[in-house]
Each structure stands twice: as structure tokens, then as C-alpha cells.
């Protein structure tokens, strides 16, 4: 099994006070933790890639823990999450899909039982490409106020033989959310949807 070779780790935090409307009493925090890793399958077609998911688990947990710490360390404060992967040009989209399980379950583990599916995106891109990471509520995917996203990227990654893997968490709804729909206060919380 190939080891996960990490070139870089980066974190980003945005503290959003307002967006032209009334300033929030508590600013919304959006955080991201990401790693630039070597793609062990770059440059050739490999049929059996699933063992790499297992290899990625410790990295997923490390990034999830860093991210939670960045946002203050209290799992109860995390209301939204998402994940994404950006595969360098010598890889294929399918390699990015390997991040689903280790990234998602790591966040659920550190948050102690979030119910909703972790939204995700993936793409192939060059050095400096930007990745829009989708975000939804951690317990009920239909909560409209928490549909959000965070853009991330590094000027020097991913090189052709690399993958950028990302986790994102937020501490609340969009800063001036007023588009209606299911409210976080009305979550039933059984099925991860409503």
C-alpha cells in the first residue's frame, strides 16, 4: 500500500462580519484545512485504487482535527461542512473520489455524529486552480440558510502528479440569510435531510 506523501498543509479561516447589511453579533467563521499530496496513480491507469482510501484515513482525521481547532475546538459550534478534491493533470477524476470516505467520516468522527451527508465537489485542474467547496448543514441537508461554499486554492498546487484534498467547516448560516426554507431550529434530525 502506498504511503501518503504530503508536500504541503494549509489552513484558511474567514471571519465574516457583514456583507453590506447589519453586522452579525457573532461573525460567521468559515474554515478550511487542506493537504497537497502525491498522487500514487499519476500517469497511468490503475484498476484497483480503493486501498488508497484506507491510507488516507489518518490524513483525514489530522485535517479534521486541525480544522476543528482552528474554529475554536467545540464540536457543538460547527453547523456546516463540506469537502472537495482537486486532481493534478496527470491524474483522473476518479482519484479525487477516493477522498469521499476518509474525508467525510473523519469530520463526522471529530464532530461526534453529524447526520447529514457531507456535500462534495471534485475536478481535475492545474497549478493555481481554484476549488469551490460546497457546504451544507451538518444534521439536515435541506436547511436552506446553511447552503454555502468556500473557495480555496494554492498558487503552487496541484502539480501534475499531486492531489489537493480539502475539508471545510462553518459555524453558522450565511451572514445575511433570508431566503426562507427549512430553518435550523426546525430540524427533526432523524434522516440527515430535514
Partner 1 sequence: MSAQIRKIAVWVEETHSEMGRAISPPTRKAVAVAVIANPFAGRYVEDLTPLMDIGAELGGLLGARCVAALGIEPGQAQSYGKAAMVGEAGELEHAAAILHPKLGAPLRIAVEKGAALVPSSKKMGSVGQVLDVPLGHKDAAYVRSHFDGVEVRLNDSPRANEIMVAVAVTDSGRPLARVGGLTHEQAEGKDGLR
Q: Which one among 2, 26, 72, 151 touches partner 1, defined by CB under 8 A? A: 151
Q: How many residues does the chain have?
A: 194
For partner 1, the closer CB: 71 or 143: 71
DSSP character for 25? S
| Phi and psi, residue 9, nearest 5° | -125, 135
In this chain, which stretch among 18-26, 72-80, 81-89, 133-141 interacts with partner 1, using CB under 8 A?
18-26
| Cross-strand partners of 33 | 11, 167
Q: Is the peptide bond before 158 cis (omega within 30 degrees of 0)?
A: yes
Closest residue by Cα to residue 133 from 167, 174, 96, 94:
167
DSSP structural state of residue 182: B
Closest CB to partner 1 among 111 and 150?
150
Region 71-130 residues binding partner 1, contact defined as CB under 8 A: 130
β-strands 80-87, 120-124: how paired?
parallel
Q: Given the complex with partner 1, which of 60 and 104 has the nearer CB atom?
A: 60
| C-alpha cell, 56 | 488516507
Is 15 near partner 1 (CB under 8 A)? yes
Minimum CB separation of residue 22 from partner 1 in Å reads 12
Q: Which residue in 1, 4, 19, 167 binds partner 1 (CB under 8 A)?
A: 19
Binding-site member from 2, 6, 186, 188 for partner 1 (CB under 8 A): 6
Binding site for partner 1 (CB under 8 A): 5-20, 27, 130, 151, 154-155
Amino acid at each position: 500500500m502506498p504511503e501518503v506523501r504530503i508536500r504541503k498543509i494549509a489552513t484558511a479561516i474567514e471571519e465574516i462580519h457583514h456583507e453590506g447589511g447589519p453586522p452579525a453579533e457573532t461573525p460567521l467563521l468559515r474554515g478550511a484545512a487542506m493537504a497537497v499530496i502525491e498522487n500514487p496513480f499519476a500517469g497511468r491507469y490503475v484498476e484497483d485504487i480503493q486501498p488508497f482510501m484506507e491510507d488516507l484515513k489518518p490524513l483525514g482525521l489530522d485535517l479534521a482535527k486541525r480544522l476543528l481547532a482552528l474554529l475554536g475546538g467545540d464540536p457543538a459550534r460547527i453547523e456546516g461542512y463540506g469537502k472537495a478534491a482537486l486532481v493534478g493533470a496527470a491524474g483522473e477524476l476518479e482519484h479525487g473520489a477516493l477522498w469521499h470516505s476518509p474525508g467525510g467520516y473523519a469530520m463526522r468522527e471529530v464532530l461526534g455524529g453529524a447526520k447529514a451527508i457531507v456535500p462534495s465537489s471534485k475536478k481535475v485542474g492545474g497549478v493555481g486552480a481554484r476549488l469551490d467547496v460546497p457546504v451544507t448543514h451538518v444534521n439536515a441537508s435541506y436547511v436552506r440558510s446553511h447552503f454555502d461554499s468556500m473557495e480555496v486554492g494554492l498558487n503552487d498546487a496541484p502539480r501534475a502528479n499531486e492531489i489537493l484534498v480539502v475539508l471545510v467547516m462553518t459555524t453558522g448560516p450565511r451572514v445575511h440569510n433570508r431566503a426562507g426554507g427549512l430553518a435550523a431550529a426546525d430540524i427533526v434530525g432523524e434522516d440527515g435531510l430535514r
